[in-house]
Amino acid sequence: MSVKRRATLNDVAEHAGVSPVTVSRVIRRPHMVSPELKTRVEAAIATLNYIPNHLASALASTRTHIVGVIVPSLTNGVFDDYLDAIQDVLHPAGIQTLVLNVRYSEAEEEQAIATLLGYHPEAMILAGVDQTLRSRAMLRSAGLPVVQTMDVTDDPIDLNIGLDHSEAGYAAVRYLHRLGHSRIAHLTARGDPRARRRHAGYARAMADLGLSTEGLVAATPAISDIEGGGALFRQVLERVPAVSAVFTCNDDLALGAIFECQRQGIRVPQDVAVMGFNDLDFCVASVPTLSSVSTERRTMGTWAAASVLEIIRGSGRRPTPARVNVGFSILARASTGGMRAEPEPSQAQEA
Amino acid sequence: MSVKRRATLNDVAEHAGVSPVTVSRVIRRPHMVSPELKTRVEAAIATLNYIPNHLASALASTRTHIVGVIVPSLTNGVFDDYLDAIQDVLHPAGIQTLVLNVRYSEAEEEQAIATLLGYHPEAMILAGVDQTLRSRAMLRSAGLPVVQTMDVTDDPIDLNIGLDHSEAGYAAVRYLHRLGHSRIAHLTARGDPRARRRHAGYARAMADLGLSTEGLVAATPAISDIEGGGALFRQVLERVPAVSAVFTCNDDLALGAIFECQRQGIRVPQDVAVMGFNDLDFCVASVPTLSSVSTERRTMGTWAAASVLEIIRGSGRRPTPARVNVGFSILARASTGGMRAEPEPSQAQEA
DNA sequence: GGGAGGAATGAAAGCGCTGTCAATCGACAG
DNA sequence: CTGTCGATTGACAGCGCTTTCATTCCTCCC
């Protein structure tokens, strides 16, 4: 067979007996073309199976219709909803997302930012606020809207929506303390900056309450998963058999801790109360149902995408406020001893 | 501030006092440039924070270094490893993946294929073999390497690596039957074509064994999740209280069924054996540990990516074989009554 | 009836980069 | 000393599209 080149706009134009510009207009601004020409061009497009070359289009128009999105993980259920929310806003608006997973690595993030910038995205949506100086420099000199999500900071690159993880950790501990617990353990994963802040909140709360954390904290450097939660809680149980509650940096670890309790014949919540973080889907399905700190993942994704869209569309109008704290809330379920509703919503607030 | 345009290759050339081609060469073929010019150009690149415009580069060279990847879901742990495996092969080779999630929708898949093709990827990696005719037509007239993964077919678009889900379902039932079960239930999600094939395998096995499936099958049209597994198994329990085993189309539903058993005081595996599918991470962590059908997700991703790379690199050499069945294996764990190793690997084979 | 105004179409230029080919220079063999 | 070869560098054209800007042809209204 002959060398089959993909059809170009010129091929379509020739086939339809019109000029290339007209074909372009049929695709981008159909209302500017007379019905008969439009029909002819559309027929040509169909017979040739023509699909416009996005690269050429972007190059010529200097509008790429691309937004770069960076997430630290995909294995962890947290970013699914978030991504989905972003794409639900952006895709219908004709904006493609270029998603890169940087596996909780600053180096991979720098690399990803450089790569993404090479595609000239019209905006970037990043998870977290812990970008390196080099990352920030690249972003700034690219001069595009940037949204940092999932966390809050006093020094945002541009826009920022998130929650205060230290406050959330603090609140979780206070909640467990109010339930009567004082030997409260914490399981965490060091790789995640937000988990580190939750840990800081835990430590601050324990200190404020005058409680010792001796032997009560277990951390894994690795990516956290359900199995790891069991292993970490086993460590704590060996060191402090009298531990009465455990707060984990995420729901996976919490579920793992519950399984470990089952294995050891420890009753949840009677012997040990378990509290997770993120309120993933399985929290309402597990036995016992898992108390957790609920975060507004979809809200953050939607707001980030909508803001970006507004800026791109309005060619520069900035959403006010530029910083949003969406807060969190404590979801009391069976694993901490009851369905007793104890919402502790921190108000959404403008920073 | 003045209108700050992003630096272009021309800006760098001017800044370094060389021609644009030389700058291009410093980036693409450094060995062709003398050391002193290279140094000067690199300095200019650094001071201007220059990042090459990938779109322009791709347009000019007709090499986009992009591979399109379509997955049906992200919320479901199955595609994380797979994607990771693909990217582990492609990214180091300088190939970017454009990933689109089509949420188990054929319509969204068609849309995604058209979108992806607009970026002129050098190859496409699709999950599943159930693309619509229109999708296949678009793919074919784009004339690029296409890999269909996760499933096998007699009529592949191009390359194909996967496993036979009907066989896998069949084997799972035979395994449970060999354990002494005859009232074997099946929980499934209709939205997933591969789950439908597992269901077909289940039905075929039950028929071959002369067993009734009356009241034993429960399906959800929705996306399956852990909570749904409980609900589906509850339906079966109401209809057939004497059910003694349950095979689910994925691990989420299986875990949900285990939780439902706990809620109802049904012992697993003494009263009901539970068998999942996919062998997700939590299978070894749950209580009891969850028997499952293990699938070679990483292998499929790696093979797909490596094949694509070979074709792109070798400008046309096709890997042999073009079709691979990676098989599956039954992983016997506690939820079906013991750690007794009962591997039933179907041999990897060339089709 | 003539000019203003609008709708439809096309010509030409150029987005930022790379492929190709030509030009230059010095080294080196004969 | 001359022709040849390889290593560097640059000029130029063009990838496939969109953005002006110009042109043509109506329609409408004073």
Inform me whether the C-beta atom of residue A52 falls under 8 Å from chain B C-beta atoms: yes
- Examine the pLDDT at B133 and tell me if it is beyond 50: yes
Q: CA of B219 to nearest chain A CA: how many angstroms apart?
A: 18
pLDDT of residue A317: 67
pLDDT of residue B76: 82
pLDDT digits (tens, 9 = 90+) for B66-100: 999 999 999 888 999 999 999 999 999 999 999 99
- Minimum mean pLDDT among A191-205, B152-166, B203-217, B307-321: which range? B307-321
H or E, element range at A187: strand A184-189
Residue of A nearest to B114 (CA): A51
Residue B71 backbone phi and psi in degrees, to 5:
-120, 150
Distance CA A6, CA A9 (A): 10
Average predicted confidence (pLDDT) for chain B: 92
Inform me whether the C-beta atom of residue B120 falls under 8 Å from chain A C-beta atoms: yes
Inform me whether the C-beta atom of residue A87 falls under 8 Å from chain B C-beta atoms: yes
pLDDT of residue A39: 93
Res. A4 pLDDT band, cuts 50 70 90: low
Q: What angle do CA A236, A240, A242 make, to 5 degrees?
A: 120
Beta bridge partners of A330: A293
DSSP string, B274-296: EE-SB--GGGGTSSSPPBEEEE-
Query: Among partner residues A51, A141, A229, which is closest to B118 by beta-carbon distance?
Result: A51
pLDDT of residue B255: 98
Beta bridge partners of B98: B68
Nucleotides of chain C touched by protein CB (<7 A) = 7-12, 14-20
Distance CA A301, CA A162 (A): 10
Question: Percentage of residues in chain B with pLDDT exceeding 70?
Answer: 94
pLDDT of residue A157: 95
Q: Do B226 and A99 touch (CB under 8 A)?
A: no
pLDDT of residue B347: 43
The H helix count followed by the E strand count for chain B is: 12, 13
Name the most confidently modeled range: A27-36, A306-315, B61-70: B61-70
The tokens describing B162, both together, are 């996967």
pLDDT of residue B122: 96
Average predicted confidence (pLDDT) for chain A: 92
Which nucleotide is nearest, taking the CA of residue B12 and each C1'? Answer: C16
pLDDT of residue B350: 46
For chain B, the farthest-separated pair of C-alpha atoms sits apart, in whole angstroms, at 84
Residue of A nearest to B283 (CA): A227
Nucleotides of chain D touched by protein CB (<7 A) = 7-12, 14-20
pLDDT digits (tens, 9 = 90+) for A9-38: 999 999 999 999 999 999 999 999 999 999
- Examine the pLDDT at A120 and tell me if it is beyond 80: yes
pLDDT digits (tens, 9 = 90+) for A270-282: 999 999 999 999 9
Report the nearest residue to nucleotide C9, CA vs C1': A22
* Single-letter residue type at B100: L
pLDDT of residue B318: 75
- Examine the pLDDT at A344 and tell me if it is beyond 80: no
Res. B327 pLDDT band, cuts 50 70 90: very high
Distance CA B264, CA B283 (A): 21
Residues 142-181 of A with CB under 8 A from B: 142-143
Average pLDDT over residues A195-200: 98
Q: CA of B274 to nearest chain A CA: how many angstroms apart?
A: 16
Residue of A nearest to B144 (CA): A6
- Minimum mean pLDDT among A248-262, B237-251, B310-324: which range? B310-324
Distance CA A104, CA A197 (A): 15
Counting Cβ atoms within 10 Å, is residue B344 exposed (0-12), middle (13-18) or buried (19+)?
middle
B186: left (phi over 0), alpha (psi -120 to 50) or beta: beta
Other beta carbons less than 10 A from residue A36's beta carbon? 8
- Examine the pLDDT at A146 and tell me if it is beyond 70: yes
pLDDT of residue B313: 87
Residue ranges of alpha helices (H) inside B217-272 are 226-239, 251-264
pLDDT of residue A234: 98
Res. B339 pLDDT band, cuts 50 70 90: very low
pLDDT of residue A321: 78
Residue A82 · residue A70 · CB < 8 Å: no
Q: Is the CB of B32 under 7 A from strand C?
A: no
* Single-letter residue type at B334: A
The H helix count followed by the E strand count for chain A is: 12, 13
